[in-house]
Amino acid sequence: VLPFFTGPEEVTGHALPIAPAAQPATTATAPDVHLALAQPADLGDRVRLTWQADGDLDFAVVVAGERIDTMVLVAHRQRAMEVPIDPARRYCFQIRATDGKNVYTSTPVPIRGGHCTQ
């Protein structure tokens, strides 16, 4: 869940339930896939998101906005997505990725002065 803060008053969304990732039989450390979300391109009523990662991964985009429920959008194996947004709201975006064994999470990135936490 990506809580969204707009100032002294906390505003949070509710994440859609996602099944927990299956844990490997061994305690091996997950490889670093260098998952990184680029600075979003704010286009007014939509935002263009692009990200990078090493390997064959499936992606989801987490969208947290002030006074709206948090959304998780499936991006499959794409590394870019345009998301419709409200021109008057502040947002935070995060990318989640999986290789089927491990789940990876990018650092959240705000637009319009949003304050993101993990």
Could you list the residue range(s) of the whole structural domain that residue 73 is in? 4-15+34-116
β 109-111/91-98 pair status: antiparallel
Which positions ≥6 away from 69 have C-beta within 8 Å? 13, 14
**For residues 18 and 98, what is the distance between their CA atoms, to the nearest angstrom?**
12
What does the DSSP assignment read for 88-108?
Answer: T--EEEEEEEE-SS-EEEPPP
* pTM as predicted: 0.76
Q: Which of 25-29, 48-52, 79-83 has the lowest mean pLDDT?
A: 25-29
- Domain total of the chain: 1
Q: Is the pLDDT confidence value at 3 over 90?
A: no
For residue 27, being part of any structural domain is answered with no
**Mean pLDDT score of the chain:** 85
| 58: nearest Cα among 94, 99, 111, 1 | 99
For residue 20, being part of any structural domain is answered with no
Q: Is the pLDDT confidence value at 102 over 50?
A: yes
Report, as an integer, the average pLDDT of 60-77: 96
The rounded radius of gyration (Å) of the Cα atoms in the chain is 15
Q: What's the CATH code of the domain at 10?
A: 2.60.40.10
Element (H, E) at 74: strand 71-76
Report, as an integer, the average pLDDT of 46-72: 97
For residue 75, being part of any structural domain is answered with yes
